[in-house]
Amino acid sequence: MEGFHWERAAAIVLAAGSGSRMKQSVKKQFIPVNHEPLFYYSLKAFSDLGIGGLILVTAGEDMELCRRLLKKYTFSSPVQIVEGGRERYHSVYQGLRQAAGYEYIFIHDGARPCLEQSVIEETALCAAKYGACAAAVPVKDTIKLVDGEGFAVETLERSRLWAMQTPQTFRYDIVKDAYDKMFESPMDEGKVTDDAMVVERYSSCPVKMAMGSYRNIKVTTPEDLTVVEKYMKEIYGDHEGDLK
């Protein structure tokens, strides 16, 4: 892709969550979908584009499991396994510390397995042009702002509302500096919901919305798995082989 050097970029794939809302004995990032663990598909999508490095962030107790699972696969990009932290933003920061030396960073939720290469490429182009961007889609529903008791206060203008997704893609220096500043002033810790929010608050670089995909959903509840299995077959077809 002209204007973007994949070998200078790394992808941080987050797979450190507990997945408590899935109500399963297996953490959601390890649940088999079409015979492969959920997080595999994110690594594959980035690797197939020839990205310079993959950083899989997982919980300390799951690092050995990840090593064992990854032995089954051959990726074109080297994979590092990094221990995550207590909250999502701690895990991102651990990944960023391992990514020093890369020019661009993709940060992606491992629980979003329906990641299409066109979405990755769109965020890459936007990051190269603007320095900071995030995959997102325009909302389809009417959104109401409500008060503390659940009564409607305001109907928000739908044409200006976007639902955030990942990957969120940045020049490394922009996102690393923003995270450094946040941890130096921890008043916002616990309030951070995505990486774009960190860059919005702790840098002067505006975050560009890059068109995502309505198929790029995050697996949160058991019902999501049925939808994901359908989307995965549309994207990859039937994948043979059992999880070992």
The order of strands in the sheet holding 132-138 is 79-83, 53-58, 9-15, 104-109, 162-171, 132-138, 208-211
Provide the terminal-to-terminal Cα distance of the chain, rounded to the nearest Å: 35
pLDDT tens for each residue of the chain, 244 residues long: 666 899 999 999 999 877 666 666 788 899 988 889 999 999 999 999 999 999 999 999 999 999 999 999 999 999 999 999 999 999 999 999 999 999 999 999 999 999 999 999 999 999 999 999 999 999 999 999 999 999 999 999 999 999 999 999 999 999 999 999 999 886 666 678 899 999 999 999 999 999 999 999 999 888 999 999 899 888 877 654 333 3
- By the 10 Å C-beta count (0-12 exposed, 13-18 middle, 19+ buried), 204 is classed as exposed
Cα 217 to Cα 219: distance, rounded to the nearest angstrom: 6
Question: What are the pLDDT digits (tens) for 56-87?
Answer: 999 999 999 999 999 999 999 999 999 999 99
Q: What is the pLDDT of residue 244?
A: 34
Q: What is 154-175 written as a DSSP string?
A: EE--GGG-EEEEEEEEEEHHHH
Spatial CA neighbour of 24 closest among 243, 217, 223, 218: 223
Which pLDDT score, from 0 to 100, does residue 23 have?
A: 61
∠ CA 147-149-151, rounded to 5°: 60
CA gap 91, 99 in Å, rounded: 13
What was the pLDDT predicted at 169?
98
Cα separation of 10 and 46, whole Å? 9
pLDDT tens figures, 33-53: 888 999 999 999 999 999 999
Cβ neighbours for 98, distance < 8 A, ≥ 6 positions apart: 55, 80, 82
pLDDT at site 201 = 93
